[in-house]
Structure 1
Amino acid sequence: MNLIKLLCFNFIFFTSVSATYALSSHHQNFILGEENLGQWTKGLFEFAEAPGPAYGGDDSLSVHHETLVLAAKRTDRPDVLCGFKRYRGGWDISNRHYWASVGFTGAAGFILAAVWFLSFSVAQVIYHCCRWRLSFNFKGSECGHRICLILLLCFTCAAVVGCVLLPVGQGAFHGEVLHTIHYVVNQSDYVVHTLRNVTEYLSLAKKINVSQVLLPTKIKDEIDKLNVDLNAAADLLTEKTSENSGKIRQVFSAVRSTLIAMAVVMLLLTFLGLFLSVLGQQHAVHIFILSGWLLVAITFILFGVFVILNNAIADTCMAMEEWADNPQAETALSNILPCVDERTTNKTLFQSKEVINQLVNVVNTAIYTFANWNPPPQAKFFYYNQSGPLMPSLCSPFDSKLEDQLCGYHQVSLSNASMVWKNYTCTVSESEKCTSTGRITPRMYDQLAAAVNASYALYHYAPPLLSLQNCNFVRNTFTNITSEYCPHLEHYLKMVNVGLCLISVGVMFCLILWLLYTNCSRRNEVFVKLSFPITRASSRKTRGSNVMRSNTVDDYDNGEIQL
């Protein structure tokens, strides 16, 4: 059961939310603009354990969440641990009663394996030790013999169909599992890429120095601490994704090899058993019957295991789908996914917009104070021989009310500011004075570009990080898995189960028919051997009397009969 638990769920959840766990391990107070950015990162990286009933101390602001039992109808099964009472706790991988109810779905395969193993064992003991023999009287007709042969051919065909269907189904299932793993790994790589980019942009923000205006040392230290946590989260996610995906690939490769070997062995057993039974090779058939006896029991067990796997995957897919539709409800996933409610998320987004506006104001202040002013040479702090057309200011994507706005005519956006401002860069002398037309020196350009990159990082990568916080990313991942991958996984698993069922039933009846058919063939052979000497003696006696009668007639004709 633990293996199914690992394969069906843990990998998907871990790769989707490991970054969230790593980020939530430290409450950061990084400040870029002392107050507002500190509040922004506090809101971004401070996670709740679950979508709890309240956020804040005011009871009037309490958020009440509906309790939702995931996959309630699908998981309504007998619970072996509670005396076969109905389990009504829904999907919950942390509940042993759930796994007991899932395990019960494969009971049919295990019971059939046990019944077959024991009953055939008893039959073999009686057959060999008690000298009990099957009697099958054809009453001088070959009709029963033909019926036995027809049934043998039919069940042989069923077993062959199962042997063909099994590798086809498992091949498709294996491929779909790899596709699902590939999708989840790609999602994990996306999270890692986002974290790496945020780290890179925040590192650039440390180097912001626009005309000798530097960030405080305390702020730089906070950036370093935050980058350490972000890098640790990215490294952990990369490591665990690679480790878990490798383990799952190994397990399913072993399952694939086992099923292929089972199909090949059963196919050979079926054909050789049919061939030897038709030839009447009773001793050889008995060897194949003993081998098939064990293999059929193993096939029934595999059937039960795959029924459990099918139900576990179906339960998980339905649970993910229901949770994606009701992410704020209190469910079994609430203790696994640290999500916050919409109100907290909106507050974080509001604070991030404020920070972006402040950074834009810092950049524009530098442009208006230094670049777009023509100070006299006596103003040494402001004068560096700047000249030429005025630089366009930086456009904030948000207005004073933090609503989206369009850029003005003489403004540049965060996405193209660095490219446009490069045209306003002058060449400088050793004294950092412009020797050509331009509004900013190369050093000032680098400083402005670093500030723009920091703003762009907050604007572009805050929504993905927020989607990790409020579980939008995980919800979208689950939605894609349930719609694109779950139906195929369930379909191919059913195909594997049908193949195992056909093999089990087909070979099981073939074993019985082999025994009947070889006994019938052997009995006919013994009858022929016993009847042949009697027929030959009768023929010899008839020939002798005919010869004597012929000789008597000849002697009478020749007058040689003596009285």
Structure 2
Amino acid sequence: MDTHPSVRCGEGSRLVGVGDAQITEMGSTEFSRGILVLSLVVVVLASGLGGTDARASHFEAGGRTLLQVQNDAQVPRTLARTKRVDPLDGFKKYRGGYNITNKHYWSSTIFTGIHGYSIALLWLLGGMLYVAILLLTPLCCTSKRERKPKTHPCTRCCPWPLPIGIVLFTVLAIIASGVALAGSSRFHARARSVKNIIDETAQRASATIYNVTGAVRSMQNDTELYGSVGGPTGLDSASRRLDDEATRIQRKAQRNMRMISRGLKILQVTTVVMVSVNLVAILLLLGAGFLRLKRPFHMLLVLLWVLTFLCWAYFGLYFFLDRQVVFAGDTCAAFDEYEQDPRSSSLGTILPCNDQLSATRVLRDTRAGIYGFIQQANANISSLRSSFLPQVGYICNPFSPPPDYTYQPESCSASEIRIGDVPQVLRRYTCSNTNGGICGEGEFISASQYTRVQAYTTSVQNLLNSFPGVERLVSCQLLKDAFNDILSRDCRPLRRYAHTAWAAMAALSTVMVLLALTWVTVAHCDGKHASSDVNPHLHKNTSPPDADINKVENDRLGLQSEA
């Protein structure tokens, strides 16, 4: 037995076999495979979430084929809800299911608001026809109207209920406008909440990927260790690909969120402006009508007609949003289906969980690789404990035995140490390099060896720390949690507020039609009344010649009698 108080570092490494050579070798193959496989897992998921068509390995093809068969078997249930008329496809039925990346899906859903769009178009055409009649009537019917006897028809044309109807419809329009503004405002607030949840989910997915690449990148600082686990052709390419995918996820999420935010903001601002202008217009029209300001009255009446057209168009738009797309119809139903079974959901066509089977297989291989690495490390520690380091504890293996390899970090006992704490245990056995390369008593690991061991074990611990996030990404739990949050908090209020918005817009549009027609009747009555006021005056000016002659004759006779 060697009792020498000091030993050279190289000799100590060969003696106990626990320096960098043994700790690096006691599972470098398994760890290298585990790192690369884990990288491929996240690349597969990132590719799906990032919207790219690239795939990382051959595992994905088989999983996608199996899932495609399962999805095809459940297509009738998921497609029946979205079967509707598509104007871009010759008004044929759209049968592609819920797919927000398909223009035919959008055209078929927007077309569901055809009732509002049709009424708006008919109203606009009716107004144009009425204006054309008003402009052409004086040109072709002047002579006939001059020969027609003139009367004062105001009592027949403008009965007393008209002013009461105008006031009543104005009050109803104000009430409907307030309800429409409140409903649309709350709807957009909930829609922004959903947008924020989706944005945060994308950010968490990117953060999970960056955690993996950070652990990989920490090994790249040591050339010898880095070369033993893949080198430039292995971890380097996988790390760059992961970083690219994480950046792509963030960039695409930001672009989509900006687009959604812009669309919601435009819809909200235009709704507020339209309803506000409508309120001002009906109040000004009320004042101009009772004050008999002819020119402002006619201009405001034209504006009121145009605003009524916009009200019907917005009714169709909000009806489409409520019934089909924005989280109140198709989307909430798709979220519910996805939460119950991602593979049978039509939402799976645009989300990465259609690769769940292949990704789960790869993730199991990763767990098996890290499990084997830690088991090998504990086997080496067991030999050390039996020789001269009985106080060294075993490394905690957070994975259950085969065949499941379930991640169970809470199963570690108090006497076991985390793999990330291994450098702290080995620090007391590391040479201080104060004696010209001669290690002191109990020191048998060189500083360079300790540095590599520290990088290696820290990287493994970082991977283990990020493993729950990777598992949630692979199992689609990240998306399920986000969708469950939306379903439990936002879907029902969104339905309620969207329904309130389109119902209020429908009521406002109807009241605006009645109000506009009432004002047109009043304007027509005033026009007739004005013409009847002029005609008697003309009659008095055209018939007096005989009266003037009689007056002149009487004046002449009076003068003669006086003479």
For the criterion TM > 0.5, the same-fold answer is: yes
Equivalent residue number for residue 126 of structure 1:
133
Structure holding more helix per residue: 2
1:183 to 188, 197, 210: 197
Equivalent residue number for residue 368 of structure 2:
354
Equivalent residue number for residue 267 of structure 2:
255
1:334 to 333, 349, 354: 349
Mapped contact 1:80–1:100 kept (Cα < 8 A):
yes
Residues 424-443 of structure 1 mapped to structure 2, 5 A cutoff: 424=428, 428-431=432-435
2:110 to 103, 112, 117: 103
Measure, in 2, the Cα distance between the counterparts of 1:261 and 1:458.
Answer: 53
Equivalent residue number for residue 395 of structure 2:
394
The structure-2 alpha-carbon separation of the partners of 1:281 and 1:328, relative to structure 1 and needing over 3 Å to count, comes to: same
Measure, in 2, the Cα distance between the counterparts of 1:236 and 1:396.
Answer: 34
Equivalent residue number for residue 324 of structure 1:
339
Equivalent residue number for residue 286 of structure 1:
298
Mapped contact 2:64–2:354 kept (Cα < 8 A):
no
C-alpha deviation, 1:326, in angstroms: 2.6
Which structure has more relative contact order (CA 8 Å, sep 6+)? It is: 2
C-alpha deviation, 1:419, in angstroms: 8.8
242-251 or 287-296: bigger deviation: 242-251
Measure, in 2, the Cα distance between the counterparts of 1:419 and 1:279.
Answer: 91
Instruction: Give the partner amino acid of 1:192.
Output: S
1:69-110, CA deviations, whole angstroms, 9 ceiling, x for partnerless residues?
465454343444677665555434465554443233111112
The structure-2 alpha-carbon separation of the partners of 1:300 and 1:338, relative to structure 1 and needing over 3 Å to count, comes to: same
Equivalent residue number for residue 14 of structure 1:
none
Residues 15-414 of structure 1 mapped to structure 2, 5 A cutoff: 33=31, 45=44, 46=57, 48=60, 52-54=64-66, 66-69=73-76, 71-80=78-87, 87=94, 89-93=96-100, 97-131=104-138, 144-145=159-160, 147-206=161-220, 214=225, 216-217=227-228, 219-221=230-232, 222-310=234-322, 311-313=324-326, 314-329=329-344, 331=346, 333-334=348-349, 337=352, 339-342=354-357, 344-361=358-375, 363-364=377-378, 374=388, 390-398=391-399, 400-401=401-402, 402=405, 406-408=411-413, 410-414=415-419
Equivalent residue number for residue 556 of structure 2:
none
Equivalent residue number for residue 507 of structure 2:
502
3-state SS of 1:355 partner: helix
Aligned length: 477
Mapped contact 1:427–1:436 kept (Cα < 8 A):
no
Measure, in 1, the Cα distance between the counterparts of 2:450 and 2:309.
Answer: 76
Measure, in 1, the Cα distance between the counterparts of 2:359 and 2:152.
Answer: 79
3-state SS of 2:60 partner: coil
C-alpha deviation, 1:35, in angstroms: 5.3
Measure, in 1, the Cα distance between the counterparts of 2:281 and 2:70.
Answer: 65
Measure, in 2, the Cα distance between the counterparts of 1:114 and 1:327.
Answer: 42
The CA RMSD measured in Å over matched residues stands at 4.2
Equivalent residue number for residue 6 of structure 1:
none
Q: Give ranges in structure 1 of 5+ residues lacking alignment.
A: 1-29, 56-61, 375-386, 533-563
Instruction: Give the partner amino acid of 1:150.
Output: I
1:350-369, CA deviations, whole angstroms, 9 ceiling, x for partnerless residues?
32222222332454466567
Mapped contact 2:394–2:417 kept (Cα < 8 A):
yes
Tell me the TM-score normalised to structure 2 length.
0.71
The structure-2 alpha-carbon separation of the partners of 1:81 and 1:34, relative to structure 1 and needing over 3 Å to count, comes to: closer
C-alpha deviation, 1:459, in angstroms: 2.9
Instruction: Give the partner amino acid of 2:242.
Output: L
1:109-154, CA deviations, whole angstroms, 9 ceiling, x for partnerless residues?
1211121112222223323431599x99675899x31x21221122
Measure, in 2, the Cα distance between the counterparts of 1:34 and 1:201.
Answer: 13
1:27-81, CA deviations, whole angstroms, 9 ceiling, x for partnerless residues?
xxx96545565566556653636954449xxxxxx97862324654543434446
Equivalent residue number for residue 491 of structure 1:
496
Mapped contact 1:51–1:338 kept (Cα < 8 A):
no
The structure-2 alpha-carbon separation of the partners of 1:348 and 1:308, relative to structure 1 and needing over 3 Å to count, comes to: same
3-state SS of 1:411 partner: coil
Equivalent residue number for residue 545 of structure 2:
none
Measure, in 2, the Cα distance between the counterparts of 1:529 and 1:35.
Answer: 101
Mapped contact 2:112–2:320 kept (Cα < 8 A):
yes
C-alpha deviation, 1:289, in angstroms: 0.9
Mapped contact 1:425–1:445 kept (Cα < 8 A):
no
1:237-265, CA deviations, whole angstroms, 9 ceiling, x for partnerless residues?
22222222223223322222212211221
Measure, in 1, the Cα distance between the counterparts of 2:199 and 2:517.
Answer: 49
Mapped contact 1:51–1:329 kept (Cα < 8 A):
no
The structure-2 alpha-carbon separation of the partners of 1:433 and 1:495, relative to structure 1 and needing over 3 Å to count, comes to: farther
Instruction: Give the partner amino acid of 1:253.
Output: K
The structure-2 alpha-carbon separation of the partners of 1:199 and 1:136, relative to structure 1 and needing over 3 Å to count, comes to: farther
Mapped contact 1:425–1:442 kept (Cα < 8 A):
no
Mapped contact 1:65–1:328 kept (Cα < 8 A):
no
Q: In percent, how many aligned pairs have the same letter?
A: 19
3-state SS of 1:102 partner: helix
C-alpha deviation, 1:198, in angstroms: 0.8
Instruction: Give the partner amino acid of 2:397.
Output: S
Measure, in 1, the Cα distance between the counterparts of 2:229 and 2:392.
Answer: 32
3-state SS of 1:396 partner: coil
C-alpha deviation, 1:530, in angstroms: 10
Mapped contact 1:280–1:521 kept (Cα < 8 A):
no
3-state SS of 2:82 partner: coil
Equivalent residue number for residue 10 of structure 2:
none
C-alpha deviation, 1:232, in angstroms: 0.9
Instruction: Give the partner amino acid of 2:230.
Output: I
Instruction: Give the partner amino acid of 1:298.
Output: L
Instruction: Give the partner amino acid of 1:514.
Output: W
Mapped contact 1:207–1:447 kept (Cα < 8 A):
no
The structure-2 alpha-carbon separation of the partners of 1:470 and 1:434, relative to structure 1 and needing over 3 Å to count, comes to: same
Mapped contact 2:209–2:243 kept (Cα < 8 A):
yes
